[in-house]
Structure 1
Amino acid sequence: MSQTAAVVVAAGRGIRVGGGTPKQYRRVAGQAVLTRTLAALAAHPEIARIQPVIAGDAAAFYGECLADLPQAVRSRLAAPVEGGATRQISVRAGLEALAGAGAPDHVLVHDAARPFVDRALIDRAIAAARAHRAAVPGVAVTDTIKIVDPDGRVRGTPPRDALRAVQTPQAFAFAALVEAHRAAAAEGLEGFTDDGALAEWAGLPVFVFDGDPRNRKITQASDLDEADRAFSAPVFSAPAGPAALPSPASDGSAMTLLTRLGTGFDVHAFTEGDHVWLGGVRIPADRGVLAHSDGDVVLHALTDAILGALADGDIGVHFPPSDPRWRGASSDRFLADAVRRVRERGGVIDHLDVTVLAEAPRVGQHREAIRARIAEVAGVPVSAVSIKATTTEQLGFVGRAEGLAAQAAATLRLPAEDAPLAGAAPAGAAA
């Protein structure tokens, strides 16, 4: 299968929105615009690489965006390259970086300030790139357009049915777009604000595929306010994939999401061994735990918390200890399955909170690694994962160092019409 990469143009200053922070780094519903754009592109399974292009002095801003992205998204991002004074220069910098790392077959060029891009639009863009050497998304123009002189005199009124408002991601055969950019640079032409127009100048036939009216570009301060409302509860649906962040319902309809809270608890006794698994992280210890799977109490408790919020049984229902397939299994598989169930129900994971109860091993030095691993498996920002630890003041089996336990809570949002599962299986034994 041909390989598709994406260039995300984020080198602009975004001064029209006001304030001292470029618009692509402004936060909407708690996440930077660029964070949401990168996550939306990375959620698409056919985009192999994403090449960000940023301003030379924006490394700190970009670093904050990365901190809010799960590892599954960060692993798809190439190191950012520095853009230039114009969009055209910035795109060329991104293309040259991709070429230097092994040119893809096709490339999508997308504005950082369009965080509403969804999987359906990306699907159409990739299909258009494969069918044509150059294609751009467009939406029908609903307002009457006038051609005017500098003094305001109307010179013409083009028919609306022949007009399209062009968006991104724009889709190209990689080699053709690189050649067009290099040719324009060689002639000293640097004023193209649209890659479709540059392709036209280079003699490429450019086709228009269906855009999306919701795929608006954030330009004014009012656009930020609208984006903040759109990405906030209760009117968006589930992301297209595990790495994505929330986006408006793809069919344009409002979907009310109701908050669900689930809790989970797991305990395992100590046995001979030299490590324990906590939150997907292997931690050296003077003993192991007795378990059918890898005995990760953190991931078991989190899995049950999510299943509880879904009213979908518990970990023992879906992964019974009587099944030999789960002997010694890595518990991140259990958590990933619970997360998949949330996505399939049109839900959103808001927050995951865990408390480890143990005299030993100590969790503190491993806390950030555990948070990062859980965020990666669950497809949520690290900021949505909380890990705490406590002892039981030498009381009970934990206090006597006979075992360790974890309790967890998961906050989800599910579509209001999504009733609890009928006939859910009864609770089973913990994995």
Structure 2
Amino acid sequence: MSSTAFSVAAVVVAAGRGIRIGGGMPKQYRRVGGQAVLTRTLAALAAHRSIGCIQPVIAPNAAAFYRECLEDLDPHLRAKLAEPVEGGATRQQSVRAGLEALDRAGAPDLVLVHDAARPFVDFGLIDRAIAAGRDHRAAVPGIAVSDTIKIVEEAAPGIGRVRETPPREALRAVQTPQSFAFSALRDAHRAAAEASLHGFTDDGALAEWAGLPVVTFEGDLRNRKITQPADLIEADRAFAGAASRNSAMTQYVTRLGTGFDVHAFTEGDHVWLGGIRIPADRGVLAHSDGDVALHALTDALLGAIADGDIGTHFPPSDEKWRGAASDQFLAHAVSLVRARGGRIDHLDITVLAEAPRIGAHREAIRARIAEIAGVPLSSVSIKATTTEKLGFVGRAEGLAAQAAATVRLPEEESATLLDAQAETAMRQG
């Protein structure tokens, strides 16, 4: 783990039996809009650029169900998933199993604990969870309660006597993902187990018991948990509607993004271009492998979706990326496009260099880029040119690449506006 990077991991708790919902199958494996609930939850978390690793926790007999979930998950997102571990008889035991697995693999700085049955989690909520966890070390998302709540005690079978009516202004309905300093939550779980306390159903409550100050941050009304059959029906309709917006009849807007990258030559015997190692009489000076073609193409895709640049997602100050293969940078940008329902239409790269010559490697480069991006070979173009001995390229001091990416994104402004209006109405109501 890098000493300079702030690492974030997530534990997804999917070990519950979840059969109260009916159908003879745990709810996390039921399909909504054509995909399993767990698949959608994992995809939502894995698509977030700050989450580096996801640790699924599943039931001992659920391996086959889990494998089916992975079949529907984008391969680039799947790369963030650790091997699942088996959970315990309680949610608390399952969370601890996930934490211990992360600890063995290399403890992150921050961990998000999320329910598998909350597939509507979005980037905004994840961003708030990470920020609150970094600032406060223990934070849970909460929704203001609109109903009056009564604390009751049983007076007779089916009858409760009101003991107290707490002021609802001080009440919050708690959701996930909950965010914690990893070491603090791990130690709290270990202490609870040593004390033979196994009844915590919420990591915020366990953290409180361990003496950690826990804060709340703004939750999301849309981040509902699938619990009852009606929830499953509603989720199916919601995701089916989203799928229809991404169908052939969906209105798309075409975006064009561009990218540029340059590296100076240094001692070496090869350069990387388009994911292919090309023999050369010099190498390039770079923090990663210095693949100007993939770097430019990554920036082009990020530009098309207006999501920063390669330095935003993979800062050169982070030792984690020293010598890193650039195919993972491009794969990440591709996953972000697809997470937004986007389609990649065409990728076009021009390499500017006096040497090395890439003619003999052109088709290998096209094939490699097509493989990384998951597009047909016909959607990838690679060209090379010199600068007629002008500039640093002409003086053979380095090489450069420029790229263009054409993508289509769903035109969802109207849908977003309706969602915002509905949320405002729910909050006011």
TM-score normalized with structure 2 length: 0.60
Residue matched to 1:227: 235
AA in 2 matched with 1:229: R
Is structure 2 residue 11 aligned with structure 1 residue 3? Answer: no
Residue matched to 1:144: 148
Task: Give the length in aligned residue pairs.
Answer: 293
Question: Is 1:11–1:90's contact at 8 Å kept on the other side of the alignment?
Answer: yes
Counterparts of 2:69 and 2:370, CA distance in 1? 18
CA RMSD of aligned residues (A): 4.0
Question: Is 1:70–1:376's contact at 8 Å kept on the other side of the alignment?
Answer: no
Q: How far is 1:21 from its partner?
A: 1.1
AA in 1 matched with 2:175: Q
Task: State which of 59, 81, 88 in structure 1 corresponds to 2:85.
Answer: 81
Q: How far is 1:16 from its partner?
A: 1.5
Is structure 2 residue 199 aligned with structure 1 residue 191? Answer: yes
AA in 2 matched with 1:31: Q
Question: Is 2:331–2:372's contact at 8 Å kept on the other side of the alignment?
Answer: no
Structure 2 stretches of 5 or more lacking a match? 255-273, 277-303, 305-325, 346-366, 378-406, 416-429
Counterparts of 1:196 and 1:125, CA distance in 2? 13
AA in 1 matched with 2:172: R
Measured against aligned partners, the alpha-carbon deviations of 1:163-216 in whole angstroms (never above 9, x if no partner) come to 000000000011110111001000111000000000011111111011111100
AA in 1 matched with 2:64: A
Q: Percent identity?
A: 63
Measured against aligned partners, the alpha-carbon deviations of 1:293-312 in whole angstroms (never above 9, x if no partner) come to xxxxxxxxxxxxxx9xxxxx
Residue matched to 2:49: 45
Q: How does 1:14-413 map to 2 (within 5 A)?
A: 14-151=18-155, 152-233=160-241, 258-259=250-251, 348-349=341-342, 377=373, 413=410
Change (3 A) 1:376 1:88: farther
AA in 1 matched with 2:173: A
Counterparts of 1:339 and 1:176, CA distance in 2? 32
Question: Is 2:144–2:172's contact at 8 Å kept on the other side of the alignment?
Answer: yes
Counterparts of 2:210 and 2:107, CA distance in 1? 20
Residue matched to 1:414: 411
Counterparts of 1:337 and 1:81, CA distance in 2? 29
Question: Is 1:83–1:91's contact at 8 Å kept on the other side of the alignment?
Answer: yes
Q: How far is 1:260 from its partner?
A: 6.0
Q: How far is 1:20 from its partner?
A: 1.3
Structure richer in helix, relative to its length: 2
Counterparts of 2:102 and 2:40, CA distance in 1? 22
Question: Is 2:112–2:177's contact at 8 Å kept on the other side of the alignment?
Answer: yes
Q: How far is 1:236 from its partner?
A: 8.9
Deviant stretches of 4+, over 3 Å: 234-238, 259-262, 330-343, 349-352, 372-376, 410-418
Question: Is 1:258–1:416's contact at 8 Å kept on the other side of the alignment?
Answer: no
Q: How far is 1:71 from its partner?
A: 1.5
Q: How far is 1:259 from its partner?
A: 4.9
Counterparts of 1:3 and 1:349, CA distance in 2? 27
Counterparts of 1:88 and 1:19, CA distance in 2? 26
Residue matched to 1:254: none
AA in 1 matched with 2:124: A
Question: Is 2:55–2:81's contact at 8 Å kept on the other side of the alignment?
Answer: yes
Structure 1 stretches of 5 or more lacking a match? 239-245, 247-256, 263-279, 283-306, 308-329, 353-369, 379-384, 388-409, 419-431
Counterparts of 1:125 and 1:341, CA distance in 2? 23
Q: How far is 1:15 from its partner?
A: 1.3
Counterparts of 1:350 and 1:23, CA distance in 2? 30
Question: Is 1:258–1:415's contact at 8 Å kept on the other side of the alignment?
Answer: no
Change (3 A) 1:203 1:375: farther
Q: How far is 1:414 from its partner?
A: 3.2
Question: Is 1:237–1:348's contact at 8 Å kept on the other side of the alignment?
Answer: no
Q: How far is 1:74 from its partner?
A: 1.2
